[in-house]
Chains A and B, each alone.
Chain A
Amino acid sequence: MKGTVGRLARIVAAYSIKMVLLLLAVSAVAFVLVTASPVDPVQQYVLHMGTAVSSEQREEIEDYWGVDEPPAERYLHWLSRVLHGDLGESSLYRRPVADIIGERFLNSLALMAAAWTLSSLLGFGLGCLMGRYRGRWPDRLLKSLCYILSSVPAFWLGLVLLLVFSVWLGWFPIGFSSPIGALRGEVTLGQRLYHLALPALTLSALSFSNIALHTRQKLIEVLESDYVLFARARGEGEWAILRRHGLRGVLFPALSLAFASFSELFGGSVLAETVFSYPGLGSAVAEAGLGGDVPLLLGITLFSALFVCVGNLIANLLYGVVDPKIREVQE
């Protein structure tokens, strides 16, 4: 057990270094892109505030962006502010970016967690089913379904779900994360879930087929392996084989895949949240981009990179815990 902890610590340490480098690279690229774009953060801020900008405020903003400095120094200047926890102030919301991200992320987290759980469970279950009945009709049917789902764009699927279930049937709300007009404190969990259902379904369709097809493939590999043949020769029944050998070989690859799919999840949430006017990080990205809100855009970019990295880290850790070849050799 002690060996395991040490090894996991090593994985975390190694990955953290990579993560820091990656985040630095992301921040640099994002900053360069924003600087090169015609949008000027100071101008945008002033524009949104109207005439009410005092000269001190203006100076503060110019200082934050290091307006008079050469590009490299501007970046370092901005970076040091970011590292001190100052992500700047959103020109759209006129509130600190960190606060907005925190608030929106909670909404997004609920959405992504729901979608993630749904797609993982469903993908894994159906993947197992397809693998078990490989080549027979349940497999062929579900496989076609997966291929169709994986080639349908998320926003289109979102629109169709919205049309069918919200507009025609009226079963689900048209958008937002809570009933319109309801006060923050009054919204019940049930209402939240109710508002979450369609966006989560849309979002889960994105990674669902990937996990299902992957699980199917993996299970087929296992079921056609020499060791399953031997298990059969030893009198293990179909279900014993699935339980003893199938799940063992399939569960953790699927789980790792699910964690590694955080980037698709976040990318998809931009579309899903926009279609359903769901107030999460994804829709904030869209707003920030369209509204020229540079600090918010940069903040979310950095935050989402971090989010994806954490998912990958978990995937790596899982492999480290589960694969005996990695585990035992290093002990």
Chain B
Amino acid sequence: MGQAAEALLEIRNLSVSFHRYGNGFAQEELKAISDLSLTVRRGEVVAVAGASGSGKSVLASAVLGILPGNAAVEGQLLYRGEALTPGRQRALRGREIALVPQSVSFLDPLMRVGVQADGSRRPRQTERRRQIFRRLGLPEETEKLYPFQLSGGMARRVLVSTALLADAQLIIADEPTPGMGLGQALEALRMFREMADEGRGVVLITHDIDLAVEFADRVAVFYAGTTVETAPAADFQRGEDALRHPYSKALWRALPQNGFQPVAGHQPYAGSLPVGCLFAPRCPCRTEECERKTPPVRQVRGGEVRCFYGA
């Protein structure tokens, strides 16, 4: 994936916050995504990795334009160089941009899988969908089943089939591996790798850095609603020193094969984010500056890092 490949999705300084009524009449503002930037090119799998509650799923909804009504969005979203307006999102989702959700709960429990995968588009593409089912190794009678009758792996493939049926160029996979055995997880990730190799762009939202690194080209480390580092996947395999941000290094050390050291402290609550660097309260290298100013994104050794000192 050379730099020449077309940028499918460009996210620039995206912020998403939710209004919520807290105790009494006080309105609370939850900042799910702060000042996030990310680019996805054709042929590329970009893993967005971070602990749960870091706002990863909100990112998917924001790109597709299916955020709930109490969400406020700032910043810029571009698809193939053009702004993603709500109208354009409506036209593109399910066609050019597809979501592959995480679990069988995203299928209507009262609808047979086949009709459901066909979607509401007319004319129905039942024949093509059958081909895709076959290609994914789903037995003939799968289409007659209800979601609760699917095994985890089958459900996964049915969900993937919807993206293939749409012939989407950009695929956002939201946590596609939890609850799967290692074999199934590898198989699922291989499917996404193939999609990218066929010239699509894939955003792989996951908390399993280990697996993601195997299949992704780049890894964006997510923390408290923003990417703190975007690095070539190979850097994660090379080790702590190849990484740029203190949080990425801490995550690396938390991996089982690297010592299993948990990162001390908690992610900040979205309702009360710290001033300055979001990671500062937990950062071993913080200085006074970190607590006053938000660090800018800097290009370092072929990656991006949001830290004053990352090198």
Binding site for B on A (CB under 8 A): 225-227, 229-237, 240, 244-245, 248-249, 322-325, 328
The CA of A234 and the CA of B93, in the complex, are separated in Å by 6
Residues in B with CB closer than 8 Å to A225 are 105
Residues in B with CB closer than 8 Å to A323 are 110
Residues in B with CB closer than 8 Å to A244 are 108, 111, 120
Chosen A-B contacts, 10 in total, with CB atoms closer than 8 Å, are A226-B103, A227-B107, A231-B108, A232-B64, A233-B94, A235-B166, A237-B120, A248-B108, A323-B110, A324-B146
The CA of A255 and the CA of B253, in the complex, are separated in Å by 57
| A236 and B110 contact, CB distance less than 8 A | no
| A235 and B148 contact, CB distance less than 8 A | no
Given A235-B93, A235-B121, 6 more pairs with CB closer than 8 A: A232-B64, A234-B93, A234-B99, A235-B95, A235-B120, A244-B108
| B146 and A226 contact, CB distance less than 8 A | no
- Contact partner, B107, options A230, A233, A249, A322, Cβ 8 Å: A230
Provide the B156-174 mask, 1 if CB < 8 A to any CB of A, else 0: 0000001000100000000
Q: How far is the CB of A65 from chain B (nearest CB, A)?
A: 54
The CA of A244 and the CA of B166, in the complex, are separated in Å by 18
Q: Which of B105, B107, B108, B166 has the most CB of A within 10 A?
A: B108
Residues in A with CB closer than 8 Å to B148 are 324-325
| B98 and A227 contact, CB distance less than 8 A | no
Residues in A with CB closer than 8 Å to B94 are 233-236
Residues in A with CB closer than 8 Å to B149 are 328
Known: A234-B98, A324-B148. A227 touches B66 (CB 8 A): no
The CA of A226 and the CA of B149, in the complex, are separated in Å by 18
The CA of A323 and the CA of B107, in the complex, are separated in Å by 15
B90 is an interface residue with CB less than 8 A from chain A: yes
Known: A245-B108, A248-B111. A236 touches B66 (CB 8 A): no
Which 10 pairs show the lowest CB-CB distances between chains A and B?
A: A235-B94, A234-B94, A233-B99, A240-B120, A230-B106, A324-B146, A236-B120, A227-B108, A226-B105, A226-B106
Residues in A with CB closer than 8 Å to B105 are 225-227
Residues in B with CB closer than 8 Å to A231 are 108, 120
- Contact partner, B64, options A233, A249, A325, Cβ 8 Å: A233
| B110 and A324 contact, CB distance less than 8 A | yes
Provide the B50-81 mask, 1 if CB < 8 A to any CB of A, else 0: 00000000000100101000000000000000
B101 is an interface residue with CB less than 8 A from chain A: yes
B109 is an interface residue with CB less than 8 A from chain A: yes
| B146 and A234 contact, CB distance less than 8 A | no
B239 is an interface residue with CB less than 8 A from chain A: no
- Contact partner, B99, options A227, A230, A240, A325, Cβ 8 Å: A230
B119 is an interface residue with CB less than 8 A from chain A: yes
| B109 and A227 contact, CB distance less than 8 A | yes
The CA of A248 and the CA of B116, in the complex, are separated in Å by 12
